[in-house]
Amino acid sequence: MALISVGIDHEHASLDLLERSTVLEHEWSKVLRALISQRNIHEAVFVSTCLRTEVVAVIDRFHGAIDEITATLSEVTGLDPSEFEDKLSVHFDRGVANHLFSVAAGLKSVVPGEFEILGQLRRALELATEENTAGAELTELFQRAITAGRRVRAETTIARGTTSFAQASVTMALEEIGEDINGAEVVVVGAGQLAGGVVRSLLSGSANVAKLTICNRTVEKAEALRTDVGDPRVVAGSLDDVVTSVSNARLCVVAAETTTPIITSNELVGGARPLLLVDLGVPRAIATDVDGLTNVRRIDIDDLRLRIERVLGERHEAVDAATAIVERDVEKYLSDQRARGAAAIVSELRDRFDGIAEVELLRRENEFTDLSEEQWVLVRSLVNSVIAKIAHRPTIALKEAAGTDQGLRLNEATRSLFDL
């Protein structure tokens, strides 16, 4: 069996394709069950965020698994395989660890070092564990990747400054609006992790907003976020309150999962005051037809990505340091995997040798009745020493080749030669 990861991400796909391939979190369980029912897939973890939809799996046949994962992604997203096959990012065996550790470290995020990806990976593993689709191999891989991600943020400056979509989007919005934000009303649609980050960034930054309305499909969650923030300027409402709230707002940030746009031009026609709309949704939560309205400006994740790319130079040293940590942690993980992969057959081989020696010593014990107890101990010590020397080279070869094609061949040959 081998490891594979297959995904659609912002490095290789357009925002349009990303939003059409996004799977909402409440549907992840269905995807996991579909994956694990496939012939070549033995373990699977699935994650779908605003900029990444990915499967990590333990598989049998490489090409068979690729076909099965592609078919599953097509089924759950409604996309024809021809729309995304040439945009897939595929990693195999060692490359999976390199990829996942880098993702967890924030090295493959639009905002380098952003924290949100760690929570997303953790939730993906937890759900796969609940659905019994993540076994020991994927569990360790994800846990080690998440640990490496935490190390990167603790030991480098990659997470200094703007480190999340929430902070980056607020910074970008405030740069667009300028002093107009002072004394203005703001609307945030959504009450999840991303929306919470937006709310906190707006309230704790330099912006002196007069009122912040949280609108969410579930009002209780909006109320919970309002209580958690503990700021008297914050009020909570439902999605039905969005239109009324936006009509009085200077800024509206939408950070909610939705299959259809929450705001369209129909709700904004006739608005006289300037309005900045920030769409952090994938799929888009604000219809692009608002771009034709007077006094309305819309920015989305593509704009955010361009802005981040312009300031990436400030973090090159931190990125290099983070990359070095990832490389070391990947090597340690792979080394531990190789050692464990070889441990079973090495143990079986030594047990086989020791068993043969023990049987022979017992069988011929009567031929050495004239030996004293001390001499018998010496004979056993000599036999054990010979066994250790015979087993030494095969043991080293099995450990060094573990986790490789050569290791698989040596493993099979050893089992055949010594009837293990």
Catalytic residue IDs: 50
Q: Please provide residue 278's backbone torsions phi and psi, each rounded to the nearest 5 degrees.
A: -115, 115
Q: Is the peptide bond before 274 cis (omega within 30 degrees of 0)?
A: no
Separation between Cα atoms, residue 221 and residue 124, nearest integer Å: 21
Tell me the torsion sign for CA atoms 238, 197, 124, 100: positive
33, two tokens: 């069950």
72, two tokens: 């599953």
- 52-59 β-sheet, strand order: 41-49, 52-59, 2-9, 89-92
Please, are residues 259 and 283 in contact by the beta-carbon 8 Å criterion? yes
Separation between Cα atoms, residue 59 and residue 54, nearest integer Å: 15
Separation between Cα atoms, residue 105 and residue 144, nearest integer Å: 11
For residue 113, is it left (φ>0), alpha (ψ between -120 and 50) or beta? Answer: left
Q: Would you list the DSSP string of 242-310?
A: HHHHHHT-SEEEE----SS-SB-HHHHTT--S-EEEEE--SS-SB-GGGGGSTTEEEEEHHHHHHHHHH
Pinpoint the alpha helices (H) of 156-185.
Answer: 165-177
165, two tokens: 């979509």
Which of 111, 159, 160, 116 has its CA nearest to residue 10? 111
190, two tokens: 């959504």
User: How far out from the chain centre does Cα 344 lie?
Assistant: 30
312, two tokens: 């990436």
Separation between Cα atoms, residue 238 and residue 232, nearest integer Å: 18
Separation between Cα atoms, residue 420 and residue 411, nearest integer Å: 10
User: How far out from the chain centre does Cα 408 lie?
Assistant: 29
